[in-house]
Structure 1
Amino acid sequence: MASQNKFHHLLPSIRFRQSKKQLTPGTAPGTVEHIGERHMEEIKITVEDYDADHYEEFIIDNIENALPYLDSSTKTWIRTQGLHDIEKLKSIWNFFGLHPLIQEDIVNTSQRPKFEIYDNCIFFVLRLLTYSEDHQNIQTEQISIVLGSDFILSFQETDTNHFKPVRKRMAEKKSRIRSHNVDYLAYALIDTVVDNYFNVIENIASEIETLEEQLLEEPEDQLLEDIHKKRREIIHIRKTVWPLRDAINSIIRDDSKFIEDNTKLYLRDVYDHTIQVIDTIENYRDMILGLHDMYMSYTSNKMNEVMKVLTVIATIFIPLTFIAGIYGMNFDPQVSPYNMPELSWYWGYPASLSLMVASAVVMIFYFKHKGWF
């Protein structure tokens, strides 16, 4: 167990937040009901207003506070963190005239990554994976993005600042985000999500190396459970990335007035990154299957070694049992017509023991000569 304790703390687990609550079968499409965990006490709404000459960030209580900026010629990014307050979210959705199906998908956090085009906007659903140093696990979160002509809305489950790098770039005067339209900001957000996948798979690689090291040193029963756990995590990550690849490909191929051709060039780069992530995940899945086969081979070989030792011991005792069986018949020489002279011989007992020992020694040397053990 020492080896298990040595390595097991190095294997962070992945925590996939999945709610057991689901919409009732037969519910009408567009029914808005929060499906997921509540991570915040109050919903937080932040406005990022910008153009090539200025950048401003502030928190608002309701969407009406953002009207002066939405009516101006600047571009506006409204970040909403927390999805449990449906009434407050509806004030945002109704103001921008979002389709009921968009509203339903935003608060149903079990959505798969996808891309949909509507008359007044484009809707994205992403799955963000991040590695938590504090909790030593990998967490997943749904990110919803609504792209309009001069605004962009984002909805997150938590108040974690995953898009801090994007905001930092926006604060720079010569930022490319500020000089481009809001579709470029949407690209930057998607690119940030994909970049986090690389951080996750780097940790997956480290965990696989730890499992391999443990397998080569002193495999324990716990190791098989860790291998199966890591395999399930890789499969879940794969299911997260594959739909995103298809969604980005649809963005590139479809014609939309909300995405400029220049931005599609950058989206092609994101598409290449998703392909790279998928290829890496496939390699890691093969490696995990290889570790599973190695563990099963080790277990099989260990069992074969045990069976070989037991077989050798049993084989050695076969002639000993035969000799003991013969002289254990106890035929009375006065009654039986066939005399067993050894039964009345003075040295019969030590002679039979010597014969047994000699038989065992001969068989041991014979097995060693054959290389059987």
Structure 2
Amino acid sequence: MFEQSKKYFSYILNPMDLLRTKKVLQVNPTVAATRIEPDEIKLFVFDYNATQADIKELSNVPDCFPYLDSPKTTWLNVDGLRKADVEKISGHFGIHYLITEDILSIGQRPKMDEIDGLLFCLLNMMYFNEKDSAVEIEQISLVLGKNFVISFQEDAARDVFNPLRERLKINGSKVRQQKADFLFYSLIDMIVDNYFVVMEKLGEKIEGLEEDIVRSANTRTLAKINMLRKEMIVLKRSIAPVRELVNGILRSETDLIEERTEKYFKDIYDHILQANELAENYRDMMMNLNDLYLSNVNLKMNEVMKVMTVVTCLLAPATVIGGIFGMNFEIIPLLHNKWGFFISVGLMLFIPLAMIRMFRKRGWF
């Protein structure tokens, strides 16, 4: 009962902890999405081949429709998800209703599907918020067609694709010489590579926290441990399913992935295995930090108890001597002796000093 009250009291002091926990753990796929739609969306098109590249921002959705039949490779990047616009794009490019539903979903588990000749992948981009020391995730959907790749993003302000955009501007770059499947690989590869950037930041926080625990563990340190533990849940929940996603692409018999491109997806698979192992290591480190914190707290408590016990032991002789000479008997040795007071005080000082010497000789403190 006390532990339950303590937990609820901590939520009153830090209500964001409760919201964070619900956000991390409680996802119900049967509940309709309640996404707040942006006022506008941004459409960017990269239509390219080895020698030419047409890069532009489109003003409205119908402007992207002609690129379905483009002889070049097309990357359509949709920043901001509005139901009506996503359905228009899906209808024109032949994207199945179930895929559209997944694109518009919230908190969906990373997955891949192959429906109506299109390859669909949904996964999370991750960022590390230095200010709040929190892992932030953004759901991204990728659709691979014969000559096109469409990416649907929630946040128009940030992503991890800027290096790819720069490479697309360079004539003769490798991505410009390849087809849509290589572009599809490049997008997934950049998302996965950014996982390591986020984990490196978390690793620095864990190392710093370990030093704090060794130096001075307190209740604030315990709060930091719990916060990082929740971030590890977010990390693990986003990374672990990507292994199945990439494995599904490798096992797929779709004609959209050429045989020469499969080796690149195998490289992503190796990276995601490494990311999973690193996430497991960090989780073990967090458990060890919790044990280290408890050990340090117990050690400090033992030190305090040892000091109090020593002080009690040192005062015990004075208490005994004072108690003996304070008894109401008529005949007490040294009661009427002029040196009685000095003898009793001397014993009260000598015996504790002898005890201190004995304690130090035995290594008790």
Partner of 2:152: 155
Question: Kindly tell me: are residues 51 and 119 of structure 1, through their superposed partners in 2, closer, same or farther at Cα, counting changes over 3 Å?
Answer: same
Residue segments in structure 2 that go unaligned for 5+ positions in a row: 1-19
Shift of 1:171: 1.8
The Cα shift of 1:135 comes to 7.3
* Separation of aligned partners in 1, 2:125 and 2:202: 16
Asked if 2 retains the 8 angstrom alpha-carbon contact of 1:22 and 1:35, the reply is: no
1:234–1:137 distance in 2 versus 1, CA, 3 Å:
closer
1:149-188 equivalence runs, <5 A: 149-159=146-156, 160-188=158-186
Taking the aligned partners of 1:65 and 1:209, their CA distance within structure 2 comes to 50
Taking the aligned partners of 1:200 and 1:24, their CA distance within structure 2 comes to: 27
Where do residues 37-52 of structure 1 align in structure 2 (5 Å cutoff)?
40-52=38-50
Matching residue within 271, 277, 285 for 2:283 = 285
Aligned residue number for residue 51 of structure 2 = 53
- Name the amino acid aligned to 1:195: D
CA shift digits 1:324-354 (9 cap, x unpaired): 22222212x2xxxxx3243333333332222
Between stretches 51-60 and 134-143, larger displacement belongs to 134-143
User: Which residue, 293, 307, 310 being the options, matches 1:309?
Assistant: 307
Residues 145 and 256 of structure 2 are in contact (CA less than 8 Å); yes or no, is this contact kept in structure 1? yes
**Taking every aligned residue pair, what percent have the same amino acid on both sides?**
38
1:53 Cα deviation after fit:
2.8
* Bigger-Rg structure (1/2): 1
Q: Write the distance in 1 (CA, Å) between the matches of 2:22 and 2:58.
A: 28
Distance 1:221 1:267, change over 3 A: same
Change (3 A) 1:161 1:363: closer
Partner of 1:240: 238
- Of 209-218 and 187-196, more deviation after overlay is shown by 209-218
Q: Is the 8 A contact 2:24 2:233 kept in 1?
A: no
Could you tell me whether the CA contact under 8 Å between 1:17 and 1:141 is conserved in 2?
Answer: no
User: Which residue of structure 1 aligns with residue 351 of structure 2?
Assistant: 359
Q: Cα offset for 1:113?
A: 1.0
Aligned equivalent of 2:70: 72
Higher relative contact order (CA 8 A, sep 6+): 1
Q: 259-268 or 50-59: which moved more?
A: 50-59
| Aligned residues between the structures | 345
In 2, distance between residues paired with 1:310 and 1:343? 33
- Does the 8 Å contact 2:127/2:198 carry over to 1? yes
Specify whether residues 371 and 187 from structure 1 end up closer, same or farther in structure 2 by C-alpha distance, changes over 3 A only.
same
Relative to its length, the structure with more helix (as a share) is: 2
**2:99 — aligned with what?**
102
Q: Deviations over 1:250-300 (max 9, x none)?
A: 111121122112111100001101111112222222222222222222211
Which structure 1 residue ranges, 4+ long, deviate > 6 Å from structure 2? 19-24, 133-136
Q: CA RMSD in A?
A: 2.5
Q: How many Å apart are 1:133 and its aligned residue? A: 6.2
Structure 2 Cα separation of the partners of residues 369 and 75 of structure 1: 83
Instruction: Identify the residue that residue 88 of structure 2 maps to in structure 1.
Output: 91
Q: How far did residue 20 of structure 1 move?
A: 11
Q: What is the aligned partner in structure 1 of residue 5 from structure 2?
A: none
Partner AA of 1:97 in structure 2: G
2:323 counterpart residue number: 325
- For the residue of structure 2 that corresponds to 1:149, the secondary structure is coil
| AA in 1 matched with 2:237 | K
Moved more, 115-124 or 168-177: 168-177
* Matching of residue 199 in structure 1 with residue 197 in structure 2: yes
Q: Does the CA contact (< 8 Å) of 2:29 and 2:108 recur in 1? A: no
Structure 1 length-normalised TM? 0.85
